[in-house]
Amino acid sequence: MSTLFSLPSLGWGSWSLLVVVGVMCGFINTFAGGGSLITLPLLIFLGIPPHQANASNRLALVFQNAASVSGFWWGGVRDTKSIVRLAGPALVGSFLGAYLAVVISPELFKKALGVFMLIALVPLMRPHKASQQEAPEHPSVWLMILFFGVGIYAGFIQAGAGIWSLLALLLVGGYDLNRANAVKSQLLFLSTLLATAVFLWKGQVIFVVGLVLAVGNSLGAWLATTLASKVDMRMIRWLLLLVILFSSARLFGLL
């Protein structure tokens, strides 16, 4: 039975916390990426089954990525050639990753989430620097292979996929930061849309939870753009570090 319109038995405190963390996610994603490394464990800690937590989080990210894509599109940063060449491997990987996420056991998924969160710390805690080489007009075969892998990761768990996408485009593709962010946003939108369709097909999305997170993400992104000049990136990175370490320990049953 589909959980599309089901309402989890959460108290007002839990719903309020969900909104607050959604705001944090949108805020952090605007500056550094990795906001889902906070929201996904929170959903599980609130008692939502891991598969449904993973699926519902995607619905919020569809809205967030759609907003990012529209901003770059109307701003004239489109790069359709890169999208056409990279979308194929990314979408195939995303489908495989999403399908894997719905067939493994909930307990195994929780352990995998803990491992992937720790892996995501590696690029998250290092500054993103563009390659010094000139970006080619067309993405290389190596970049296409990398985005097949990124697609699998994004389809399976999503959290931290934006960071890996950005690093691949900057360091391997040689893209400048603005072009890389535009391509990343469009590819993640397509990958997330496909993965969400898989989760909807399997009846694992809780529509209300996804919408609440979407509202929080949107508000957080707006706050981030308003307070951009006052934000200390070091504080955001340390906040993510502490949350990820705590959440991973909880997922492994250590706390």
Q: Which single residue is written with the structure tokens 């931290």?
A: 160
Which pLDDT score, from 0 to 100, does residue 254 have? Answer: 66
Domain boundaries, the chain: 12-251
| Cα within 13 Å of Cα(195), Cβ side | 37
Q: Enter the pTM of the model.
A: 0.77
| Cα within 13 Å of Cα(77), Cβ side | 18
Which pLDDT score, from 0 to 100, does residue 14 have? Answer: 80
In three-state secondary structure terms, 134 is coil
Mean pLDDT by 10 residues, the chain (255 residues): 56 82 78 73 85 88 78 70 89 95 87 78 59 58 90 87 82 78 84 92 88 84 64 63 69 64
Which pLDDT score, from 0 to 100, does residue 250 have? Answer: 66
